[in-house]
Amino acid sequence: MKLPFENSGLDIKFRVNGSGQVEVNMDYHPGSKDVPLIPKFGTRLAIPRMYDNIEWYGRGPFENYQDRETAALTGIYDRSLDEFVVPYISSQDNANRTGTR
C-alpha cells in the first residue's frame, strides 16, 4: 500500500487460523530519512451486521483507559454493539477496555 507522504509504504498481512483468530502484521517503510515521526495510520474493517454482540474477559463493563482502569473490575462482560460504542468526535479513541484477554 502506498501512503500519501514522501513515497512511504505500508505492507499489511492478515492471517486467520481455523479457530477464527486473526493475526495482523504491519510493516511501515518511510520514504526518506527526513520523515521526523511515524505517521498515524490505521485499518477499517467491516463485518456483517448480524455480529452485533460483544463479549470479553477484561476490565469493564464501561470503557476504560490506563488513567481510570482501577474503577473497572475484571470479569466477563457482554454488550450489544450499540451499547459498546461511544459517539465521540474522534472515533479512534472509542470503546477501549484495558486488560482484555
Burial class, 1, CB count within 10 angstroms (exposed 0-12 / middle 13-18 / buried 19+): exposed
26 closest CA partner among 34, 16, 15, 37? 15
Sorting pLDDT into bands at 50, 70 and 90, what band is 86?
A: confident
Q: Which residue has the higher pLDDT, 33 or 48?
A: 48
pLDDT of 40? 72
31 closest CA partner among 69, 62, 3? 3
**C-beta atoms surrounding 11 within 10 Å:** 10
Q: Which residue has the higher pLDDT, 9 or 16?
A: 16
Sorting pLDDT into bands at 50, 70 and 90, what band is 72?
A: very high
Which pTM does this prediction carry?
Answer: 0.58
Would you say 35 and 5 are in contact if contact means Cβ atoms under 8 Å apart?
Answer: yes
Q: Which residue has the higher pLDDT, 92 or 94?
A: 94
